[in-house]
Structure 1
Amino acid sequence: MQGKHLLLVIGVMVIWGVNFSAIKLGVNQLDPFLIAAARFILATFPIIFFVKKPNVPIKYLMAYGLVFGTGIWGMAYCSIAFGLSSGMASVLLQLDVLTSIAVGALLYKEVITKQMWFGILAALIGLTLSIIYTNGNITLLGFVFILIAAICWPMMGVIIRHSGTKAPFAFNIWGMLFAPIPLVLLSIAINGVEGLITTYEQWNGSAWFSVLFQAYPTTLFGYWVWNKMVLSYPMSKLAPLTLLTSVFALLSGYLFFGETLSTVQWISCTLFLAGIVAVIYPSKEKPNISIGKSKYRRIPT
């Protein structure tokens, strides 16, 4: 990878890591569903008027908006709102690699190599230790919500694959058009119309910073750079770099909110991420059809 491209990708990982702190800034004060809805509204307009609609059936865009907006980010926002630290939310969202492997094996008969099994075992041991030795940065509800988000990642991949799209960036933009509606409806179902009124009345500068950072540097700039890199380099080189997102998320959580890990958690998080690396890093075994490093490898923001 060219040096300038490597620096550009690392810069995006910094943005994506800090994004988890931006999310926490918003959901600490306001309804997580409405914060997520605002992110997707701002990320969609006005750029959608300059991006040609991808040539796919509308049902795929609607499904993408529901899964990406509510299933992944709506649940991830709830995980932080219900006590999961921003840094640990980023780390545990890497569970999507394991859920993606499960989907690949069950639906597409993709092969799980010995190296991948070793990585899965190491990641699960690290995850278990992180939960057992929590210092309050992992809650039961927070973990349940982030697990739902991780399960939805491969579902998003299934939608993209079946849509047959050749324009992933345009597909993302137009899919996000359908993300805010279910989020707003969920907010109303849980909190009533009064929740909308309260959010409007309490909306402040911190909320604006939160959603603007999520919409523009994180979503539009980050996805634009990432898609360009995907066209230039194999995912086997790019995917391991996404793990830097968790590193920068842990650092930003410490700097902005004073989040810390217990001693055992530092070791277990390292073990967890090392296991994820073993899963997505190219194996010499044949056949090597790894969903974790193929077109299902997600963007962690």
Structure 2
Amino acid sequence: MTPAHLALAVLTTVLWGFNFVMIQVGLQSGLPPLLMAALRFMVAAIPVLWLPRPKIPWRRLVAIGLFLFLGQFALLFTGMAAGMPPGLASVVQQSQAFLTALIAAAVLRERPSARAVAGMAVAFSGLALIGTTAGSGGMTALGLGLCLLGAASWAGGNVLLRGAGSSPGGPVALMAWLGLVPILPLLGLSLAIEGPAAVGAALAGINLSGVAAVLYLAVPSTLVGYGIWGFLMARYPATTVAPFALLVPISGAASAALVTGESFGAARLAGMALVVAGLGVGALTLPARWRGRDRAPTSR
């Protein structure tokens, strides 16, 4: 990978990590979580006006959008509003990597490798350790549970994306068209759950912090981040690009500590370290000279 492309990969992880801080900014500005998610996709979907529709059947496009965007972000935003600090949320969301493997094993009959299973065990032990701290430091069991369900929805969207084909407009076009799917459901859920009065008051009183949060979530996080990711994926092997996602929880936790002053404590830091270590065990590819050690010995 060239230095310029390496810098782009790192930039993407920073954009995605800071995403969680901006969700918190939007919530603190007074935007209800479901309404904020709807506004995010209303902006992110604007490029459909000039970008071609992906060559994906409508039924599959809608199904992907429901899991990848509606379920994931409705649950994540609501979970953070219910008591999930941004730094911890950035770590917990990465459990989608192993949930994707579990769903793929059940639905697509893909057997995870021994290293992937070991990585899952390490990561889930970290999540369990984080779970023991619920009720302190701004985190609630409800917030943690909703964020885990959001990660599971993301995982379901990942499996649906498998074999969906490429978009003639590239990854930005795909994300924009998928962004059309959750807009009306999110608006409907917002009116039903958060209430017309709260929605109207939030829209009438939206401030610069709320506008900045929505624009950041829609443009740098969704369109720019996924656009760079797709650009790199088209030029390098997935095994070269994918491990950079391991930096997202690190940049998310660092951003939360620097911007919001979030502190983690020994148990949470240990749990976060286990999650990142588990992701590394399952996602990173061993050098060729080591791969023989990853296989069970054969009898002679």
TM-score normalised to structure 2 length:
0.90
- Say whether residues 1:248 and 2:251 are aligned partners: yes
- Say whether residues 1:184 and 2:183 are aligned partners: no
Q: Which residue of 1 aligns with 2:119?
A: 119
- Amino acid in the other structure paired with 2:238: M
> Which has the higher Rg, Structure 1 or Structure 2?
2
- Say whether residues 1:222 and 2:221 are aligned partners: no
* Counterparts of residues 113-262 of structure 1 (less than 5 Å): 113-133=113-133, 135-161=136-162, 163-167=164-168, 169=171, 170-262=173-265
Say what the alpha-carbon RMSD is for the aligned residues. Answer: 1.8
Q: Which residue of 1 aligns with 2:74?
A: 74
Q: Deviations over 1:83-102 (max 9, x none)?
A: 10001001000110111111
Q: Matched residues in 1 for 2:277 and 2:250: separation? A: 12
Q: Matched residues in 1 for 2:177 and 2:149: separation? A: 23
- Say whether residues 1:86 and 2:86 are aligned partners: yes
Q: Which residue of 2 aligns with 1:298?
A: none
Q: Which residue of 2 aligns with 1:293?
A: none
Q: Which residue of 2 aligns with 1:107?
A: 107
Query: Contact 1:64–1:176 (CA<8 Å) still a contact in 2?
Result: no
Give the deviation of 1:30 after TM superposition.
1.6
Q: Which residue of 1 aligns with 2:59?
A: 59
Q: Which moved more, 1:158-167 or 1:183-192?
A: 158-167
Q: Which moved more, 1:116-125 or 1:180-189?
A: 116-125
Q: Which residue of 1 aligns with 2:272?
A: 269
Q: Deviations over 1:11-58 (max 9, x none)?
A: 11111111110011112322101111111111111x212211122222
Q: Deviations over 1:163-193 (max 9, x none)?
A: 4444562222111112211111001111222
Q: Which residue of 1 aligns with 2:17?
A: 17
- Say whether residues 1:33 and 2:34 are aligned partners: yes
> Identity over aligned residues, as a percent?
29
Q: Matched residues in 2 for 1:100 and 1:146: separation? A: 15
- Amino acid in the other structure paired with 2:151: A
Query: Contact 1:25–1:210 (CA<8 Å) still a contact in 2?
Result: yes
Q: Matched residues in 2 for 1:66 and 1:100: separation? A: 16
Give the deviation of 1:286 after TM superposition.
6.7
User: Residues 272, 163 of structure 1: CA spacing in aligned structure 2 closer, same or farther, 3 A cutoff?
Assistant: closer
- Amino acid in the other structure paired with 2:254: L
- Amino acid in the other structure paired with 2:37: A
Query: What secondary structure does 2:126 align onto?
Result: helix
Query: Contact 2:95–2:151 (CA<8 Å) still a contact in 1?
Result: yes
Runs of 4+ aligned residues of structure 1 deviating over 3 Å after TM superposition are 162-168, 283-287
User: Residues 197, 25 of structure 1: CA spacing in aligned structure 2 closer, same or farther, 3 A cutoff?
Assistant: same
Q: Deviations over 1:209-253 (max 9, x none)?
A: 000111111111111111000011122122221121111111111
- Amino acid in the other structure paired with 2:153: C
Q: Which moved more, 1:107-116 or 1:87-96?
A: 107-116
Query: Contact 1:187–1:195 (CA<8 Å) still a contact in 2?
Result: no
Query: Contact 1:116–1:278 (CA<8 Å) still a contact in 2?
Result: yes
Give the deviation of 1:162 after TM superposition.
5.5
TM-score normalised to structure 1 length:
0.89
Query: What secondary structure does 1:52 align onto?
Result: coil
Query: Contact 1:69–1:180 (CA<8 Å) still a contact in 2?
Result: no
Q: Matched residues in 1 for 2:159 and 2:274: separation? A: 29
Query: What secondary structure does 1:232 align onto?
Result: coil
Structure 2 unaligned spans of 5+: none
Matched residue count: 286
Q: Matched residues in 1 for 2:204 and 2:49: separation? A: 30
Query: Contact 2:65–2:157 (CA<8 Å) still a contact in 1?
Result: no
